[in-house]
Structure 1
Amino acid sequence: MNRHYVHTQIGYLLIIIYSFVLAVVTYQVIISGFDLIAAWVLVLIVIVMALFTTLTVEIDEEFLRIRFGIGLIRKKLALSEIKSCSIVKNRWYYGWGIHLTPRGWLYNVSGFDAVEIVMKSGKKYRIGTDVPDELEKALCQSADIK
């Protein structure tokens, strides 16, 4: 696979929030003694951190690939099916993570900048990024969009 574009965005605020929660729960476990529920919460926080604190975007000859964290959560879009792409700003209440918004599916770990992709089928996707100009340029060139 010859990659044309690879970029990983780190969700620093998410890392800070999850680390704070992890520290609070760990402190509670230390002062209160072992608690099965607290242990499960600790495990859950570590799993969420591994899955959702980074977003990697790759473009090769055929596909746009979006991957969260360690790669268990991913999406692949065929470049030949992309109709258009443009830089957009997400509203603050769209939040972070993966979910459906009024503007289509959102994949985001930090900030409000994104590139909106419209597929030939009419489906829309927004990919959050800290380098929207670079992503839009690479995507439009790779998908041969004028």
Structure 2
Amino acid sequence: MYQHKQFALFIFVILSWIASFVGLAWYLIGADMPLMVFAAILLLVGFLFHGLTIKVDNSQISWGFGPGVFGDKLQLADIIEAKAVENSFRHGIGLRITHDGWIYTVSGFSAVQLTLKDGSQYRLGTNDQAGLLAALADKISQPKATETL
């Protein structure tokens, strides 16, 4: 079984920067209700998106943000190709759909693209492309998992 968690360094930097302004406002005007609600939202976003965990077992691959939310799972039998890819700035971070299929990423540009039998694609951001590809290599249908950069 393979399991890897990539932490969301970029999200932490952005949330810390915003939190510094919240802290300054808290100091200058005091703890009013809208400011406390905004601070709580920042904490919630940080908790929900603090990382992306990818798991591979004998029959499926699954992934989820933070404590396991906003993820998905696929049966390995439905995957026909897994390859290393590099995302660009237009792919962004988080969860979104693009012309490359569903994107799940929290930090950096490295990803593994999964192509399903029905033609749909998923890109899973990871800082361990080689490890994820190795975990998938002997478990998916033809053609085998390939590493192409």
Aligned partner (choices 65, 69, 89) of residue 66 of structure 2: 69
Q: Secondary structure at the match of 1:142?
A: coil
Q: Report deviation, 1:142.
A: 2.5
In 2, Cα distance between equivalents of 1:72 and 1:62: 21
The residue that corresponds to 1:24 in the other structure is 21
Aligned positions of 1:85-124 closer than 5 A: 85-124=82-121
Q: Secondary structure at the match of 1:26?
A: helix
In 2, Cα distance between equivalents of 1:105 and 1:62: 21
**TM-score, normalising length from structure 1?**
0.92
Q: Secondary structure at the match of 1:143?
A: coil
In 2, Cα distance between equivalents of 1:143 and 1:40: 46
Q: Report deviation, 1:23.
A: 2.5
Give the aligned length.
143
Question: Displaced runs of 4+ in structure 1, greater than 6 A?
Answer: none
Segments of structure 2 that go 5 or more residues without pairing to the other structure are 145-149
In 2, Cα distance between equivalents of 1:17 and 1:132: 25
Q: Report deviation, 1:144.
A: 4.8
In 2, Cα distance between equivalents of 1:144 and 1:118: 11
CA contact (8 A) 2:87 2:109 kept: yes
Comparing 98-107 with 25-34, greater Cα deviation is found at 25-34
Segments of structure 1 that go 5 or more residues without pairing to the other structure are none
Q: Report deviation, 1:26.
A: 2.3
Root-mean-square deviation (CA, aligned residues, Å) is: 1.3
Q: Report deviation, 1:56.
A: 0.4
Please state if 1:10 is matched with 2:12.
no
Aligned partner (choices 136, 141, 144) of residue 138 of structure 2: 141
CA contact (8 A) 1:84 1:140 kept: no
Partner amino acid, structure 2, of 1:111: G
Aligned partner (choices 29, 40, 44) of residue 43 of structure 1: 40
**Percent identity between the two aligned chains:** 31
